[in-house]
Amino acid sequence: MKNLWTPWRRAYVSGTGEQSSGCVLCEALARRGEPDSLVLHVGVRSFVLMNLYPYNSGHLMIAPREHVADLSRVAPEVLSELMQLTQLAERVLSRRYRPHGFNLGMNLGRAAGAGVPDHLHLHLVPRWEADTNFMAVFGEVRVIPEDLREAARELREEFLRETAGAG
Ligand SMILES: [Zn+2]
């Protein structure tokens, strides 16, 4: 169990969140400069991060920077950037992982399966023809392979490359 990785719990304990203490997305955004950060790209109103509990390799989340739960309250310019960052994330994942397809979606509310019901976010999950169901393998055991952080470093560079127009 030495790879059990609980940065969010550490965040709760230290209590240094900018706002909405206990929100893993706000905490992640606030700690984006740290070496272990899973945040890959920060836009004007939205940001992209890796899912700490991935369904598959390259499972990303795209969320507003604002702590907001209700889709109907999200401003048009925020929605627009959410989708633009989703496009960007799709390009990056396509280049890095060469998936055969993607799942893209939102779980709104805990009853719908949202793990972070108070801060809405899109899930973007690369899929392969023959992929195994990650959840079936790991179930509720929240053990994250060490290479998640390495993957985050690589993907951050890919986002930089894409947004620099070099790619
Ligand atoms: Zn939040």
Residue pLDDT, tens place only, 34-49: 988 999 999 999 999 9
CB 115 within 8 A of CB 88: no
- pLDDT > 90: percent of the chain: 57
pTM: 0.78
Please tell me which residue in 41, 59, 119, 121 is annotated as part of the active site. Answer: 121
Measured at the alpha carbon of residue 36, what is the angle toward residues 108 and 151, in degrees to the nearest 5?
Answer: 75
Better pLDDT: 3 or 123: 123
CB-CB contact of 119 with 28 (8 Å): no
How is residue 140 annotated by DSSP?
Answer: T
Q: Is 67 a catalytic residue?
A: no
Helices (H), 17-146: 24-30, 76-97, 134-138
Distance 120 CA to ligand 1 centre (A): 8
pLDDT digits (tens, 9 = 90+) for 96-127: 999 999 999 999 988 888 888 999 999 999 98
Q: How many residues does the chain have?
A: 167
Going from the Cα of 22 to the center of ligand 1, the distance in angstroms, rounded, reads 8
